[in-house]
């Protein structure tokens, strides 16, 4: 693959043709927050946490995980505007479902919780929805707690892309609430 040069946060860095902006950032030790990204899976930009500013005069905001890095591209990953947008995204995720960390088995080892700390979320400005959703224990090896899900799609992509059998999917049972199903 051909090498490309781009500028990220004012620093000239190298990447390869075919890299996403997130790939280029990772290769150069630049941290970009993500929730739905998982090495080895197709990126879908579901969480919108990896947003970056691209350009100098006309700045566009795109997701780093799905935007191809290009020769001469100018990217910013850590601006006040981006961090405010990320904080809003996190607050909306936290408001949508029951994410009371002290009652969760993943407390202390949770990407969502870590990002909430990183972005100093100590209250949520939006109405808490917290619908009472079912826990699906119908599968022999997997339990899905719909009340804690952030709709990142990792579980669906693992079943489809790594296991090779599309046995899990997300579908909408109403305009508001998605539901997961084993096939």
Share of the chain above pLDDT 70, in %: 93
Average pLDDT over residues 112-126: 94
Strands in the chain per DSSP E: 3-8, 11-16, 51-54, 60-63, 74-76, 135-136, 144-145, 168-172, 178-182
Read off φ and ψ for residue 16, nearest 5 degrees.
Answer: -125, 150
Q: Are 6 and 76 in contact (CB under 8 A)?
A: no
pLDDT interval class at 105 (50, 70, 90): confident
Rounded (10°) CA dihedral 106, 94, 92, 170: 50
Q: Which two tokens stand for residue 137?
A: 């224990």
pTM of the shown model: 0.87
The pLDDT tens digits of the residues spanning 37-81 come to 999 999 999 999 999 999 999 999 999 999 999 999 999 999 999
Domains in the chain: ranges and CATH: 3-78 (3.10.20.740), 80-130 (no CATH), 131-183 (no CATH)
Query: What is the distance, to the nearest Å, from the Cα of residue 49 to the centroid of all Cα atoms in its chain?
Result: 5
DSSP letter, residue 111: H
């Amino acid at each position: 693959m051909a090498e490309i040069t781009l500028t990220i946060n004012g620093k000239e860095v190298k990447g390869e043709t075919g890299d996403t902006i997130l790939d280029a950032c990772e290769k150069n030790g630049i941290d970009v927050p993500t929730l739905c990204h998982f090495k080895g899976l197709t990126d879908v930009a579901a969480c919108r946490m990896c947003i970056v500013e691209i350009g100098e005069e006309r700045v566009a905001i795109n997701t780093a995980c799905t935007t191809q890095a290009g020769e001469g591209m100018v990217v910013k990953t850590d601006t006040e505007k981006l961090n405010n947008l990320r904080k809003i995204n996190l607050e909306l995720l936290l408001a949508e479902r029951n994410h009371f960390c002290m009652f969760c088995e993943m407390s202390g080892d949770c990407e969502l919780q870590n990002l909430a700390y990183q972005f100093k979320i100590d209250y949520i400005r939006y109405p808490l929805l917290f619908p009472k959703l079912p826990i699906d224990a119908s599968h022999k090896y997997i339990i899905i707690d719909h009340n804690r899900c952030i709709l990142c799609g990792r579980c669906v992509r693992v079943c489809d892309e790594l296991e090779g059998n599309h046995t899990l999917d997300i579908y909408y049972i109403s305009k508001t609430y998605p539901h997961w199903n084993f096939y």
